[in-house]
Chains A and B, each alone.
Chain A
Amino acid sequence: MTAPLVELKNVTKRFGEITVLDMVNLTIFEGDITTIIGKSGVGKSVLLKHIIGLLRPDEGKILFNGKQLKGMTRKERKSFKERISYMFQNNALFDSLTVFENIALPLREKTRLHEDAIRSRVLAQIDQMELSEVTYKYPSQISGGMQKRVALARALVTEPKIILFDEPTTGLDPLRKNAVLSMIVHYQKKIRFTAILVSHDIPDILFISNRVAIIDSGRIPFQGTPMELEQSENPVVQQFIKGQASLKDELTGLNTRRDIKKIFIQEMERVNRLHESFPVVMFTIDNLEQINEHIGYIAAQQIIQCLGMLIKEHFDTTGTSARYSQNDILMLLPHTGLKEAKQVLDELATDLQKQEIFQAKSYPKACFSFSILAGPAEARPGMDLDSLIKQALSHQKTIAHIECIKHGETT
Chain B
Amino acid sequence: MDQTTNFVFAPFNWLGRFSIAFIGELGSVGIFFIHAFCLIFSLPLQVSKTIQQVFFIGAKSILIILLVGLFTGMVLGLQGYYTLVKFGSEGVLGAAVALSLIRELGPVMTAIMIIARAGSSMAAEIGIMRISEQIDALDTMDINPIRFLVSPRIAASLISFPLLTAIFDVIGIAGGYLTGVVLLGINAGVYFYRIEASVIMQDVSGGFVKSLVFGIIVSTICCYQGYFTHMRPGGFGARGVSLATTSAVVLSCVLVLIMDYVLTSFLL
Given contact pairs A95-B132, A109-B148, A88 touches B137 in the complex (Cβ within 8 A): yes
> Could you tell me the distance in whole angstroms from the C-beta of B116 to the nearest C-beta in chain A?
21
Contacting A at CB under 8 A, from B122-138, are 125, 128-129, 132-134, 136-137
Contacting B at CB under 8 A, from A53-87, are 53-54, 78, 81-82, 84-86
Report chain A residues within 8 Å CB of B136: 49, 54, 88, 92
Stretch of B58-66, B139-147, B194-202, B236-244 at the chain-chain interface: B139-147
The complex places the Cα of A109 from the Cα of B46 at a distance, in Å, of 10
Q: Is the CB of B137 within 8 A of A78?
A: no
In the complex, number of A-B residue pairs with CB atoms less than 8 Å apart: 45
Given contact pairs A92-B132, A95-B132, A109-B148, A86 touches B137 in the complex (Cβ within 8 A): yes
The complex places the Cα of A109 from the Cα of B143 at a distance, in Å, of 7
Q: Is the CB of B132 within 8 A of A110?
A: no
Q: Is the CB of B132 within 8 A of A105?
A: no
1/0 contact string of A99-140 vs chain B (CB within 8 Å): 000000110011000000000000000000000000000000
The verdict on A5 contacting chain B, using a C-beta distance below 8 Å, is no
The verdict on A52 contacting chain B, using a C-beta distance below 8 Å, is yes
**B: number of interface residues (CB 8 Å):** 14
> Could you tell me the distance in whole angstroms from the C-beta of B134 to the nearest C-beta in chain A?
5
Contacting B at CB under 8 A, from A20-53, are 49, 52-53
Q: Is the CB of B134 within 8 A of A110?
A: no
Q: Is the CB of B143 within 8 A of A106?
A: yes
The verdict on A90 contacting chain B, using a C-beta distance below 8 Å, is yes
The verdict on A94 contacting chain B, using a C-beta distance below 8 Å, is yes
The complex places the Cα of A96 from the Cα of B125 at a distance, in Å, of 10
Report chain A residues within 8 Å CB of B125: 96
- Chain B residue nearest to A81 in the complex (CB): B142
The complex places the Cα of A325 from the Cα of B8 at a distance, in Å, of 73
> Could you tell me the distance in whole angstroms from the C-beta of B197 to the nearest C-beta in chain A?
51
Most buried by A among B125, B128, B137: B137
Q: Is the CB of B142 within 8 A of A92?
A: no
Report chain A residues within 8 Å CB of B137: 86, 88, 92-94
Q: Is the CB of B141 within 8 A of A94?
A: no
Report chain A residues within 8 Å CB of B142: 78, 81-82, 110
Report chain B residues within 8 Å CB of A78: 142
The complex places the Cα of A94 from the Cα of B137 at a distance, in Å, of 9
> Could you tell me the distance in whole angstroms from the C-beta of A241 to the nearest C-beta in chain B?
31
CB < 8 Å neighbour of B133 from A82, A85, A92: A92
CB < 8 Å neighbour of B134 from A85, A86, A95, A106: A95
Most buried by B among A54, A82, A90, A109: A109
The complex places the Cα of A160 from the Cα of B87 at a distance, in Å, of 78
The complex places the Cα of A82 from the Cα of B141 at a distance, in Å, of 7
- Chain B residue nearest to A107 in the complex (CB): B141
Q: Is the CB of B134 within 8 A of A94?
A: yes
The complex places the Cα of A85 from the Cα of B134 at a distance, in Å, of 14
- Chain A residue nearest to B139 in the complex (CB): A54
The complex places the Cα of A110 from the Cα of B141 at a distance, in Å, of 8
The complex places the Cα of A53 from the Cα of B142 at a distance, in Å, of 11
Report chain B residues within 8 Å CB of A52: 140
Given contact pairs A92-B132, A95-B134, A85 touches B148 in the complex (Cβ within 8 A): no
- Chain A residue nearest to B147 in the complex (CB): A109
The complex places the Cα of A12 from the Cα of B134 at a distance, in Å, of 26
> Could you tell me the distance in whole angstroms from the C-beta of A231 to the nearest C-beta in chain B?
36
The complex places the Cα of A158 from the Cα of B142 at a distance, in Å, of 12
Q: Is the CB of B143 within 8 A of A85?
A: no
> Could you tell me the distance in whole angstroms from the C-beta of B12 to the nearest C-beta in chain A?
27
Report chain B residues within 8 Å CB of A49: 136
Given contact pairs A92-B133, A92-B134, A94-B134, A86 touches B140 in the complex (Cβ within 8 A): yes
Contacting A at CB under 8 A, from B30-68, are none
The complex places the Cα of A49 from the Cα of B139 at a distance, in Å, of 11
Q: Is the CB of B141 within 8 A of A90?
A: no
Contacting B at CB under 8 A, from A120-167, are 158
> Could you tell me the distance in whole angstroms from the C-beta of A320 to the nearest C-beta in chain B?
44
- Chain B residue nearest to A102 in the complex (CB): B137
Most buried by A among B125, B132, B142, B143: B142
Q: Is the CB of A105 within 8 A of B133?
A: no
Q: Is the CB of B143 within 8 A of A90?
A: no
Report chain B residues within 8 Å CB of A88: 133, 136-137
Q: Is the CB of A109 within 8 A of B141?
A: yes
Report chain A residues within 8 Å CB of B133: 88, 90, 92
The complex places the Cα of A263 from the Cα of B141 at a distance, in Å, of 48
> Could you tell me the distance in whole angstroms from the C-beta of A93 to the nearest C-beta in chain B?
8
The complex places the Cα of A65 from the Cα of B27 at a distance, in Å, of 37
Report chain A residues within 8 Å CB of B134: 92-95
- Chain A residue nearest to B137 in the complex (CB): A92
- Chain B residue nearest to A77 in the complex (CB): B142
Report chain B residues within 8 Å CB of A93: 134, 137
Closest 7 CB pairs of A and B: A81-B142, A92-B137, A86-B140, A92-B133, A106-B141, A109-B143, A88-B133
**19 additional contacts (CB under 8 A) given A85-B141, A92-B137, A110-B141:** A52-B140, A54-B139, A82-B142, A85-B140, A88-B133, A88-B137, A90-B132, A92-B133, A92-B136, A93-B134, A94-B134, A94-B137, A95-B128, A95-B134, A96-B125, A105-B141, A105-B143, A109-B141, A110-B143
Provide a sorted-by-A list of 9 A–B residue pairs whose CB atoms are within 8 angstroms: A54-B136, A81-B141, A81-B142, A85-B141, A86-B137, A86-B140, A93-B137, A95-B134, A96-B125
Residues of A within 8 A of B (CB): 49, 52-54, 78, 81-82, 84-86, 88, 90, 92-96, 105-106, 109-110, 158
